[in-house]
């Protein structure tokens, strides 16, 4: 077994080992970690970041990036909140409005990126600002409150003792895994990210693939925005600030290659859980949250370095 193969296997499965070791260490250091209430808290806290991370995993696999995730969370949340007042509209209306806002923004990102040939970093940096401005315009710069109980149940309710956000997370993970592993679109994503000129030469419609990818990313960001708005029972125009960084971090930590062509939903989920567990453990151990940013930065750099070493050897 040569060095390249061993390094490739480590970058693929090392995150699982790291996650297991961290969980074992936390279980030994604080008995509160492996309790059902605490695990439910972790799952609920992780749900929104994981949803965004699933979406950006699609994008990064195709060789792109999306910095507008946090703004899409705000726009979708504010849009849904506008229609979620009690005795005004049925629950489907705010849900559809919020999801439509995310889909529109995601499709807009894909359209501009594919038609203008401007790098995704620049385009989504611009739409990040546009989205934040629109959220402030729609809400008139003020939180939108007095939401219906049925809407608030989405982020704060539970089914048979399981928080509803965790149920949504599980469903989203299963759907995204099927899309990535069992559909033609998923195979095309890997092909485009691995070698875009070769993908074009083989007859793949790269423009359509990227449009689908950014639209899916917008849809998942909208789901996260609706969850967040329901959870805090308020449509906040400043919600989601910095969420894109945590989502991208979860994808990269989970093994998604920054240069495209590699990544799994399982790895991304573990990456999101790892971020959540580290944050939760710092709280349980009464460690200031400032250290979380330092730890996450080190982990991200380490993940990127390992990915770069693996590509270089291969």
Within-domain flag for 280: yes
Within-domain flag for 34: no
Give pLDDT tens digits for 238-257.
998 889 988 998 998 888 88
Within-domain flag for 29: no
CA 305 from chain centre, in angstroms, equals 22
Please tell me the pTM assigned to this model: 0.91
Within-domain flag for 262: yes
Question: Residue 47: is its pLDDT beyond 90?
Answer: yes
Within-domain flag for 17: no
CATH number (domain holding residue 152): 1.10.3470
Total tally of structural domains belonging to the chain: 1
- The torsion angles phi and psi of 262, rounded to 5 degrees, stand at -140, 140
Structural domain of 70? 50-313
What residues contact 82, with CB distance under 8 A and at least 6 apart? 94, 97, 138, 139, 144, 235
Within-domain flag for 123: yes
Within-domain flag for 157: yes
Round to the nearest angstrom and report the end-to-end CA distance of the chain: 13
Give pLDDT tens digits for 272-291.
998 888 888 777 777 777 77
Q: What is the CA radius of gyration of the chain?
A: 20
Give pLDDT tens digits for 79-123.
999 999 887 889 999 999 999 999 999 999 999 999 988 999 999
Within-domain flag for 5: no
């Amino acid at each position: 077994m040569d060095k390249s193969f061993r390094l490739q296997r480590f970058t693929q499965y090392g995150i699982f080992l790291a996650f297991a070791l961290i969980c074992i260490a936390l279980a030994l250091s604080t008995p509160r970690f492996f309790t059902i209430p605490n695990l439910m808290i972790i799952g609920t806290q992780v749900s929104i970041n994981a949803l965004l991370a699933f979406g950006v995993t699609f994008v990064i696999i195709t060789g792109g990036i999306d910095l507008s995730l946090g703004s899409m969370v705000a726009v979708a949340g504010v849009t849904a909140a506008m229609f979620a007042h009690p005795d005004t509209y049925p629950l489907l209306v705010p849900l559809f409005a919020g999801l439509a806002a995310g889909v529109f923004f995601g499709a807009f990102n894909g359209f501009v990126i594919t038609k203008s040939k401007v790098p995704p970093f620049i385009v989504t940096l611009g739409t990040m600002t546009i989205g934040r401005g629109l959220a402030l315009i729609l809400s008139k710069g003020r939180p939108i409150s007095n939401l219906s109980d049925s809407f608030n149940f989405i982020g704060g309710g539970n089914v048979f003792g399981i928080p509803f956000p965790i149920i949504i997370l599980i469903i989203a993970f299963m759907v995204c895994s099927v899309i990535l592993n069992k559909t033609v679109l998923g195979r095309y994503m890997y092909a485009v990210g691995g070698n875009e000129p070769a993908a074009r030469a083989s007859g793949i419609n790269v423009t359509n693939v990227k449009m689908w990818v950014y639209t899916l990313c917008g849809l998942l960001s909208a789901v996260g925005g609706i969850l967040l708005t329901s959870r805090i029972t308020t449509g906040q125009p400043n919600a989601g600030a910095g969420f894109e960084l945590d989502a991208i971090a979860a994808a990269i930590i989970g093994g998604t290659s920054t240069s495209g062509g590699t990544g799994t939903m399982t790895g991304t989920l573990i990456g999101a859980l790892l971020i959540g567990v580290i944050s939760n453990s710092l709280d349980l151990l009464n460690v200031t949250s400032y250290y979380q940013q330092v730890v996450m930065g080190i982990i991200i750099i380490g993940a990127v370095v390992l990915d770069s070493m693996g590509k270089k050897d291969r």
